[in-house]
Amino acid sequence: MGDLVQVRGVTKSYRRGGETIEVLHGVDLDIPRGDFVALMGPSGSGKTTLLNLIGGLDTPTAGSIVVDGRRIDQLSSGELSAWRAAHVGFVFQFYNLLPVLSAQRNVELPLLLTSLSGVERRRHAAVALALVGLADRAGHKPKELSGGQEQRVAIARAIVSDPTLLVCDEPTGDLDRATATEIMALLRMLNREHGKTIVMVTHDPKAAEYAARSLHLDKGTLA
Amino acid sequence: MRYVPLLSAGLFRRKARTVLTLLSIVVAFLLFGMLQAVQSAFESGADAADAKRLLTTARYSIIEPLPMAHLKTIERVPGVIGVASADWFGARYQNESNAFPVFAVDPARYLDMYPEFTIAPAQREAFVKTRTGAVAGQRLMDRYGWKIGQKLPIASEIHAKTDGSLNWEFDLVGVIDADDPAVRANTDVVLINVAHFDEARQLGRGKTGWYIVRVAEAEQAKVIAAEIDRRFANSPDETKTAPEKEFAVGFAKQIGDIGAVVTRILAAVFFTILILTGNTMAHSVRERIPELAILKTLGFSDTRVTTLVLAESIVLLGLGAGLGMAVAAALLPAVNGSTGGRFPPLFVTAETWLAAAALALLVALAVGLPPAWRARRLRIVDALAGR
């Protein structure tokens, strides 16, 4: 099985208060298709920056990033939006659901960018919610759900358009141990049974245990 | 349609704030609809004017009377095919709030001047023949429940009878009306026979308020007006003659430049709406920065997010404008009923609806573009990191 993600010589710098800060220093990384990688490291080591670059949320200062055979570091803002919609699912620490929409409507959001009809969108969302075990919570608003349930809705939203790659930023960071275990089991199931390639940033060694491998980032360099 | 839930979610994230903003927009457009109706009403006198009709008044003031003898002189001016006089009675019916115009006229001459008025031939004949006769507009008849054949007691604020009394009594012999709504406003009057009035009044005999002059050719109206005024030049009773439309516009301007007043009031109202709605939109977008960032994360392009934010302000203004104008259209008939006929009827015209739509779009763009631009420039990683 070939590499889904190829990161070559990637550096990323920011300008803060007139000063240039280099967060990543020439990172090289290969992630095979179907892999489940945990990115670990201390705060400020550049984990989230690297995850954002792989997910197409940001562009590198130098170097190249190829995902599924396409150089995403050379895409325009509009092309990158369309690429993310088709290829990447995102899961965040604080779920980032739209509070005024029901779970069903939240999950449907990525499908608004497809040509699917309303009926088809609802059916896809229902399947995704069933997959994360929340079929009976489709009509609930986020504030009516527990933290674990909110994260499950976020995962359903991430997989509803059947992306190749899931990027997860501290997916258990806001959850208690028991709920975190459930979420990690869900991600492992998506990886093993549905072949999703997952790149996950975490501080939690327990969560990292669910990944196929862990990579350590320190001061912008992979150890 | 697929974005309706998203639009609705954005708009009603804070229901109370959106509803209050919506209400203020409704009130602004309610005012717009009503004030535009007032302006249209003031212009309606000019709209209903007949190009072949001239009005002759005293040169320096319309309240200064003219000799009735002017009628024969005006009649002899080439191009003039008819002349009628009318005098202001200054009526009060039952109490001071029941005021309506009463004109003392020569029945046949006056009704000939206004062929757009309808009156049954027998009633016209009765008005011509009855010295104490009077005819009233259909709407006044309906409002006060008058019946043909009854006595009509009317007090005058200007003219006393020879016995010193201000209380007059006439015989109601007919009803005038008009098919055209713009003309109908001009039938909200009572006409009394000048023959009896002039004989019975204490002061001002042989004088009248103004003349209505019909000319053969509309193109000759200004030339004939000048000729009429020339004939009375340097006399004790100089005249000022103008086409009816010009007179109507001038009369409205004596009350005030309604157009300017309306424009200033609306400018103040819409400036407030601009600030209020602009503030609401700015707040709304500022609060939703993380949500907008998530939409972008999911693949919504910059343009799509910009359009969504702009659409919110367009929907808000569209909804408020539509409701406000609908309320104005619904209230105006009641307002028309309560003015006692002292004001032309008010309507929301098609032009006012179009102007409201254009104004709503303009305000929507003005208040929607700055937050939409902010949403467009939003960097996902900064927004998600709370920077």
DSSP letter string, B172-241: EEEEEB-SSHHHHGGG-SEEEEHHHHHHHBSS-TTEESEEEEEES-GGGHHHHHHHHHHHTTTSTT-EEE
The answer to whether B299 contacts A105, with C-beta atoms less than 8 Å apart, is: no
**What is the reported pLDDT for B149?**
94
Q: How far is A207 from chain B (nearest CA, A)?
A: 22
Residue B201 bridge partners (DSSP): B161
Mean pLDDT within B270-285: 85
| Residue pairs between chains A and B whose CB atoms are closer than 8 Å | 63
Inside any domain, residue B314:
yes
Chain segment B88-114, per-residue pLDDT in tens: 888 878 776 667 889 999 999 999 999
Query: Residue A52 and residue B242: Cα distance in Å, rounded?
Result: 79
Phi/psi at A174 (5° precision)? -115, 15
* B342 pLDDT more than 60: no
Chain segment B13-66, per-residue pLDDT in tens: 788 888 998 999 999 999 999 888 887 777 665 555 677 899 999 988 777 899
Strand bridging mode B133-137 / B167-176: parallel
Are residue B157 and residue B298 in the same domain, yes or no?
no
Are residue B30 and residue B69 in the same domain, yes or no?
no
* B365 pLDDT more than 80: yes
Interchain CB contact of B290 with A (< 8 Å): yes
**What is the reported pLDDT for B4?**
84
The answer to whether A98 contacts B291, with C-beta atoms less than 8 Å apart, is: yes
The answer to whether B13 contacts A100, with C-beta atoms less than 8 Å apart, is: yes
Give whichever of A84-88, A131-135, B285-289 has the largest mean pLDDT: A84-88
**What is the reported pLDDT for A112?**
92
Inside any domain, residue B52:
no
* A206 pLDDT more than 70: yes
**What is the reported pLDDT for A15?**
83
**What is the reported pLDDT for B50?**
74
Are residue B108 and residue B224 in the same domain, yes or no?
yes
Inside any domain, residue B134:
yes
Query: Residue A102 and residue A97: Cα distance in Å, rounded?
Result: 9
Are residue B95 and residue B166 in the same domain, yes or no?
yes
Task: Name residue, tokens 């550049």.
Answer: A46
Are residue B119 and residue B41 in the same domain, yes or no?
no
The answer to whether B380 contacts A57, with C-beta atoms less than 8 Å apart, is: yes
- Number of helices (H) and strands (E) in chain B: give both, helices first: 15, 12
Q: Among B55, B61, B53, B69, which Cα is nearest to B208's?
A: B69
Are residue B219 and residue B127 in the same domain, yes or no?
yes
Interface predicted TM-score of the whole assembly (ipTM), two decimals: 0.92
CATH superfamily of A33-54+76-222: P-loop containing nucleotide triphosphate hydrolases (3.40.50.300)
Q: What is the pTM of this model?
A: 0.68
Domain interval for residue B82: 61-237
The answer to whether A90 contacts B297, with C-beta atoms less than 8 Å apart, is: yes
Inside any domain, residue B54:
no
Question: Which residue type is seen at B133?
Answer: G
Task: Name residue, tokens 């059947």.
Answer: A162
Chain segment B247-258, per-residue pLDDT in tens: 766 666 666 677
Task: Name residue, tokens 């340097």.
Answer: B234
Are residue B213 and residue B264 in the same domain, yes or no?
no
Interchain CB contact of B300 with A (< 8 Å): yes
Supply the angle between the helices B350-377 and B15-47 in degrees, to the nearest 10.
150
**What is the reported pLDDT for B256?**
63
Inside any domain, residue B315:
yes
Are residue B261 and residue B353 in the same domain, yes or no?
yes
Task: Name residue, tokens 């009816």.
Answer: B244
Q: Among A134, A120, A106, A131, which Cα is nearest to A187's?
A: A131
Within 8 A of B305 by CB-CB distance, chain A residues are none
Are residue B72 and residue B200 in the same domain, yes or no?
yes
Last residue of a domain, one of B237, B268, B300: B237
Interchain CB contact of B302 with A (< 8 Å): yes
Number of folded domains in chain B? 2
**Which chain A residue is nearest to residue B4, measuring alpha carbons?**
A112
Interface test with B, best of A13, A112, A141 (most B CBs within 10 A): A112
Last residue of a domain, one of B237, B266, B301: B237
Mean pLDDT within B342-360: 83
Listed by start position, the domains of chain A span 33-54+76-222
Interchain CB contact of B271 with A (< 8 Å): no
**Which chain A residue is nearest to residue B11, measuring alpha carbons?**
A100
User: Could you give the 3-state DSSP secondary structure of residue A147?
Assistant: helix
Query: Which has more confidence, B365 or B188?
Result: B365
The answer to whether A85 contacts B2, with C-beta atoms less than 8 Å apart, is: no
Chain segment A31-85, per-residue pLDDT in tens: 999 999 999 999 888 999 999 999 999 999 999 999 999 999 999 999 999 999 9
Are residue B105 and residue B202 in the same domain, yes or no?
yes
Phi/psi at B324 (5° precision)? -60, -45
Are residue B182 and residue B118 in the same domain, yes or no?
yes
Are residue B135 and residue B90 in the same domain, yes or no?
yes
Average pLDDT taken over every residue of chain B = 86
Mean pLDDT within B57-84: 90
